[in-house]
Amino acid sequence: MGAGIVRIVTDESFERDVLRSGRMILVVFGLPWCGPCRLMSPGLRALAATRRDRLVVAKLDAEANPATAALYGVETYPMSILFAAGEPALRLDGYMPLRKVEAALAAYLDGPGGGRPRQGPIAPSAT
């Protein structure tokens, strides 16, 4: 299995690259010095390769881009948020091996409704 491309998003590009992209995007909020964040990198590249037809995988450095992390109430790392139709649909808190990430995403990527979330969107943090 080849490695896929994990996109880098920033505070400046977030609206264009995630909210208005028209695709499902898994954004992983992390920190450069975070060990669990680094441990997720190989799995994210594999996920980007195997699901490229349905999913874009992106990383956001929360230390360099604090506004977006604050908007979505990200306080622990890594934090993965799946965006569907520009709305947060699923939050995955902390390190997870690839198989658990895939299992959590399955209802969105393989479920009825063309991958639309089964639950309502998650609102950005009010803090």
Position 112 scores a pLDDT of: 62
Candidates 25, 34, 74, 84; catalytic one? 34
Q: Specify if 122 maps to a domain.
A: no
Q: Specify if 119 maps to a domain.
A: no
pLDDT single digits (tens) 12-49: 999 999 999 999 999 999 999 999 999 999 999 999 99
Q: Please determine, for residue 61, whether its predicted confidence score (pLDDT) is greater than 60.
A: yes
**Alpha carbons 93 and 26: distance in angstroms, whole number:** 13
Q: Please determine, for residue 1, whether its predicted confidence score (pLDDT) is greater than 50.
A: no
Which tokens sit at 73?
A: 């109430």
Candidates 25, 37, 84, 101; catalytic one? 37
Q: What is the CATH number of the domain that holds 39?
A: 3.40.30.10
Contact by Cβ (8 Å): 93, 35: no
| H-state helical runs in the chain | 14, 35-50, 66-71, 98-109
Active site residue 1: no
Residue whose structure tokens are 């695709």: 23
Let me know if 48 is exposed, middle or buried by CB neighbors in 10 A (0-12, 13-18, 19+). Answer: buried
Whole-model pTM? Answer: 0.86
Active site residue 72: no
Comparing 14 with 116, the larger pLDDT belongs to 14
Domain that residue 52 falls in: 7-109
Q: Specify if 120 maps to a domain.
A: no
Residue 124 DSSP one-character state: P
Q: How many structural domains are present in the chain?
A: 1
